[in-house]
Amino acid sequence: MASSCFADHLGDFVALTPTERDAIHRLEERERILRRTGILVRENDRAGELFILKRGMMMSYVLLDDGSRQILRFLFPGDMMGVASIAYALSPETIVALTDCTVCPFECGALAQLMTEHPRLGAAIMVLHQMERVSLTDRLVGLGRTSAKVRVASLLLELRNRMRRFDPEIGSSFVLGLTQEEIGDATGLTAVHVNRMLRQLEDDGLIGRENGRVLFRDEVRLARAANYVDRFEGLDLSWLPAAR
Amino acid sequence: MASSCFADHLGDFVALTPTERDAIHRLEERERILRRTGILVRENDRAGELFILKRGMMMSYVLLDDGSRQILRFLFPGDMMGVASIAYALSPETIVALTDCTVCPFECGALAQLMTEHPRLGAAIMVLHQMERVSLTDRLVGLGRTSAKVRVASLLLELRNRMRRFDPEIGSSFVLGLTQEEIGDATGLTAVHVNRMLRQLEDDGLIGRENGRVLFRDEVRLARAANYVDRFEGLDLSWLPAAR
DNA sequence: CGCAAATTTGAACGTAGTCAACAAGTGTGG
DNA sequence: CCACACTTGTTGACTACGTTCAAATTTGCG
């Protein structure tokens, strides 16, 4: 049986037929290894490909004229990346590896074929995109209307939950794998202030820290403080068309 | 010939066949009138429908526990709304009318049918969603990494450009149709500070104002100051499958 | 071990928020 | 037609959250 990272991810929400799994697997025929800090796609470079992240952790970001950076999204195994290239000739964002990674590049045409031959998969992919869009609006709300402490707490929760999806071993303690500067670029803060917020969360008894490892000391209170919503819950996919 | 707002919008990017137009038109069979301030969908209400905005201006927003509001998106004729309901049982956002509006509700199932019978339209809709997603990341970058003045200038430009798409009459002067509080809730600022930023933009000679009407005095300099990118440009849809 | 990157802390500063008062505009009912 | 209430816009004074700058310390890696 051909294994597919994306099919596994999708399969968490939709029961896939063997034929569908097979079709998805064709998106992952090629493989590319990327070292830590390796750039997969550069902002404003020509972008004709999409990717499935198979192994490792990546992120996408935008650089501004003044040199500041806004991290848009952290990427985990099973995530589809560079999807903007279905619309734009040039990539609107940079995608870079945070750890050593394996990615599977495929052409827009392969997506077209998949959607044509398997409308239900096309619909399911659209669902994934919407989930991602809603997560993005959650972050928008965070940046626009919540305090620094809440934003940092919220990011910690989100990262832990996303990691746990493909590594169920992870409990209330996990390795963050981000510098404080990266946390800042994701939450719209400076590295210095991120440091202070982490200290406060620690002093509040909400988290513990030791060399890159974060421990949730009171997850309920932390989630409440971060007004965090898990967007992998509350799904309703009953409308999907029949498998072909 | 059946007219369809959504088909017109989509038709700006993709040459639609009469059959395709017809299929899209079936999404707009029903119509619903909404008065100004009328709520179409309420956050956390059961959400099984999508909508096409046919006439008027709407917005979507999220309310926080402390009563503050983050506006996510402004909606114009041809926009598809409430798409999150293809993924979630409950709506993650509220959608409300800013002017008297006409909307066309349709079921998730109608979308499923459309994607099955017309894969190319499914792909084209996916492209629209990606364009919207990129706009959202633009706003995320704005909130995370730009000053209050830049955010306000950027919003003005975006609103004018979106209005101009369906009303080519609009030039460097237009009616905003938003209160300063609404501008603030979209840009993550207080109404008071929005007022000061508008005054500064005016004092800088970038804009003029008189009772709700905004005038761009120096659009080039304004766009540069707002590091604004028009996401209706730079498209490449050559990969779309053949029309059926 | 030695060096560069990352973290930590303090002090001063500045952008945006808060609070308050007033003006201007809008709609309603007497 | 006017009086009144209510929303929206405007400005000033003060506050506070987060930034900037700088320096010390720790960590991780070659």
Question: Footprint of strand C, using CB within 7 A?
Answer: A 179-181, 191-192, 195-196, 198-199, 209, 212; B 147-149, 188-190, 192-193, 211
Residue numbers of A between 56 and 75 with CB closer than 8 Å to B: 62, 64-65, 68-70, 72
Contacts of A213 (CB under 8 A, 6+ apart): A173, A174, A175, A176
Q: What is the mean pLDDT of chain A?
A: 96
Token output for A190: 């400076």
In strand C, the nucleotides that come within 7 Å of a protein beta carbon are 5-11, 15-20, 25-26
B151 touches chain A (CB under 8 A): no
* Contact assignment for A188 to B145 by CB distance below 8 Å: yes
Q: What is the DSSP string of B156-216?
A: HHHHHHHHHHH-TT--SEEE----HHHHHHHHT--HHHHHHHHHHHHHTTSEEEETTEEEE
pLDDT beyond 70 at A34: yes
- Taking 80 as the threshold, does the pLDDT of residue B112 lie above it? yes
**Contact across the interface for B87 and A131, Cβ inside 8 Å:** yes
Tokens of B8: 């017109």
Give the per-residue pLDDT at B85. Answer: 97
CB distance A133–B131 less than 8 Å?
Answer: no
- pLDDT of B65 above 70: yes
Residue B53, pLDDT above cutoff 80: yes
Average pLDDT over residues A144-170: 96
**A34 with A101: CB under 8 angstroms?**
yes
Rg (CA), chain A: 19
Q: Taking a contact as any Cβ pair under 8 Å apart, which residues of chain B between 94 and 133 contact chain A?
A: 107-109, 111-113, 115-116, 119, 122-123, 125-127, 129-133
> Residue B2's pLDDT is what?
59
Q: Would the CB atoms of B234 and A131 count as touching at under 8 Å? A: no
- Tens-digit pLDDT profile for residues A35-55: 999 999 999 999 999 999 999
CA distance A241 to B116: 8
* Residue A223 pLDDT level (bands cut at 50, 70, 90): very high
- Chain-centroid distance of CA A211 in Å reads 24
Do the Cβ atoms of B178 and B156 come closer than 8 Å?
no
Length of chain A: 244
Residue A113 confidence (pLDDT) above 80: yes
**Averaged over B204-218, what is the pLDDT?**
93
CA distance B87 to A134: 10
Half-sphere exposure in the Cβ direction for B142 (13 Å, CA):
28
Task: Tell me the pTM.
Answer: 0.96
Flag whether pLDDT at B1 surpasses 60. no
Give A226-235 pLDDT, tens digit per residue: 989 999 999 9
pLDDT confidence bin for A211, thresholds 50/70/90:
confident
Any chain A CB within 8 A of the CB of B243? no
pLDDT 10s digits, A68-109: 999 999 999 999 999 999 999 999 999 999 999 999 999 999
A191 touches chain B (CB under 8 A): no
Arithmetic mean of pLDDT, B131-149: 98
User: Mind listing the pLDDT tens digit for each residue in A3-15?
Assistant: 789 999 999 999 9
Q: Amino acid identity of B236?
A: D
Integer angstrom CA distances of residue A155 from A176, A187, B118: 10, 8, 39
Interface test with B, best of A66, A145, A238 (most B CBs within 10 A): A145
Residue B3 reports pLDDT greater than 90: no
How confident is the model over A163-180, as pLDDT tens digits? 999 899 999 999 999 999
Low-confidence winner among A157-161, A168-172, A183-187 (lowest mean pLDDT): A168-172
- Contact flag B86-A113 (C-beta cutoff 8 Å): no
SS3 label, residue A43:
coil
List helix spans (H) across chain A.
Answer: 5-11, 18-25, 108-117, 119-145, 148-166, 180-187, 191-203, 219-225
SS3 of chain B: helix, strand, coil, percent, to 5: 45, 20, 35
Residue B121: name the closest of B238, B2, B24, B12 by CA.
Answer: B24
Domains delineated in chain B:
5-138 (2.60.120.10), 148-225 (1.10.10.10)
pLDDT of B211: 78
